[in-house]
């Protein structure tokens, strides 16, 4: 019970931060280690969180469009992966459907908030600051509270059935889940690349592929090399921008000087 409550608090905290303070928090790369820490297996939390992050790397919430609840996917994927003892396979396999189902709860909460907004509008029209503040703080704490209760209930009632279900699966199905757990991160990476693809980054894509496939460089080495190249281009662009701005200033000074000389010549001619 205590573990379910702690995981529920993590869910509520991340949802609360995501609602208006820190939008970078609802990412599996952060949530996984937190869940793993409270469940007593930080290593698995980091591994499962990183795997789920790769799946949802190209998924972002834009406005009111929520393709998948990444927070719920990360929390439940990591929790079930650790509590059932199945690790990354179960975590990644459950994260996708859980993320899609959790969107339904988000839509229900937003529907309730429509009534809260209507109540706030009436409070403003009646110049009732007390009622407005009451509705505002209700919405602020109601949102994470819903996810806290949902998380505790799901973990209390769902771990046993999920563990039994996963243990009774045929070996062929388990192998399929293992393959899917390896393919989904590649799919997430593909979605991310498709959203930012440009012909200018094509050479770097193939350079990274060659470094990994033929030269055997690990992910950390490629990441450090890529970061160094990115910093080089940032500094180069900054230098070019600075030189361009200085050139514009020089042209403005020259233009102003020429205009002043022309005015002096016109005055001399007219006089």
Q: What is the pLDDT of residue 231?
A: 92
208 and 160 within one domain: no
Give the tens place of pLDDT for each residue, 159-198: 677 667 666 667 776 677 677 766 766 776 776 677 666 7
Tokens 């007390």 sit at which residue? 130
Residues 202 and 192 in one domain: no
Decide: 102 and 77 in contact? Cβ < 8 Å. no
**142 lies in the same domain as 245:** no
Instruction: Judge if 154 and 215 occupy the same domain.
Output: no
Q: How distant is the alpha carbon of residue 244 from its chain centre?
A: 35
Same domain, 191 and 210: no
What is the pTM assigned to this prediction?
A: 0.68
DSSP β-bridge partners for residue 62: 65
The string of pLDDT tens digits covering residues 2-57 is 888 898 898 888 888 877 666 666 788 888 888 889 988 888 888 888 888 888 87
| Residue 229 and residue 97 in one domain | no
Cα distance between residue 201 and residue 198, in whole Å: 6
Tokens encoding 193: 């690349």
Q: Identify the pLDDT of residue 266.
A: 52
pLDDT in tens, 200-228: 777 888 888 888 888 888 888 888 988 89
* Same domain (yes/no): 270, 227: yes
Structure-token match 């339904």, residue found: 104
Of the three residues 180, 197, 214, the one that is the final residue of a domain is 197
CB distance 53 to 27 below 8 Å: yes
The residues near 17 (Cβ < 8 Å, ≥ 6 apart) are 25, 26
Of 197, 229, 257, which residue constitutes the final position of a domain? 197
Question: How many CB atoms are located within 10 Å of the residue 142 CB?
Answer: 13
> What's the structural domain count of the chain?
2
Give the C-alpha distances (Å, rounded to integers) separating 169 from 9, 94, 160, 165.
Answer: 32, 15, 14, 6
Confidence check: pLDDT of 68 > 60: yes
Domain identity same for 137 and 205: no
CA distances in angstroms from 146 to 59, 143, 195, 240, listed in the order given = 23, 6, 33, 51
Segments forming the whole domain that contains residue 229:
198-271
Cα–Cα distance, 123 to 116 (Å, whole number): 10
Q: What is the C-alpha separation between 4 and 28, in angstroms, rounded?
A: 18
- DSSP characters for 60-80? --BTTB-S--HHHHHHHHHHH
Residue 258 shares a structural domain with residue 147: no
Q: How many CA atoms lie within 13 A of 197 on its CB side?
A: 8
The residue from 157, 173, 197 where one domain ends is: 197
Helix extents (H) in the chain: 2-20, 28-38, 42-55, 70-83, 88-125, 129-167, 171-196, 202-213, 219-270
Same domain flag for 216 and 182: no
**Residue 198: partners with Cβ closer than 8 Å, 6 or more residues away:** none
The verdict on 271 and 177 lying in the same domain is no
If asked whether residues 84 and 41 sit together in one domain, one would say yes
């Amino acid at each position: 019970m205590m573990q379910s409550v702690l995981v529920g608090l993590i869910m509520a905290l991340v949802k609360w931060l995501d609602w208006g303070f820190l939008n970078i928090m609802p990412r599996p790369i952060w949530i996984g280690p937190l869940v793993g820490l409270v469940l007593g297996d930080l290593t698995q939390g980091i591994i499962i969180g990183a795997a789920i992050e790769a799946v949802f790397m190209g998924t972002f919430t834009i406005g009111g469009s929520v393709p998948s609840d990444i927070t719920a996917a990360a929390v439940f994927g990591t929790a079930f992966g650790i509590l059932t003892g199945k690790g990354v396979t179960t975590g990644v396999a459950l994260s996708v459907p859980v993320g899609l189902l959790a969107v339904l709860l988000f839509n229900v909460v937003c529907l309730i908030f429509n009534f809260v907004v209507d109540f706030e509008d009436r409070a403003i029209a009646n110049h009732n600051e007390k009622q407005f503040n009451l509705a505002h703080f209700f919405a602020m704490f109601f949102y994470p509270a819903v996810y806290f209760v949902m998380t505790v209930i799901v973990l209390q009632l769902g771990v046993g059935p999920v563990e039994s279900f996963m243990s009774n699966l045929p070996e062929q199905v388990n192998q399929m889940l293992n393959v899917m757990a390896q393919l989904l991160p590649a799919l997430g990476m593909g979605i991310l690349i498709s959203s930012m693809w440009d012909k200018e980054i094509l050479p770097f894509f193939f350079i990274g592929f060659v470094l990994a496939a033929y030269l055997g460089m690990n992910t950390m080495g490629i990441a450090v090399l890529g970061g160094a190249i990115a910093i080089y281009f940032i500094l180069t662009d900054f230098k070019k921008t600075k030189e361009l701005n200085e050139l514009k200033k020089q042209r403005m000074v020259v233009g102003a000087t020429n205009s002043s000389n022309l005015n002096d010549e016109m005055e001399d001619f007219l006089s």
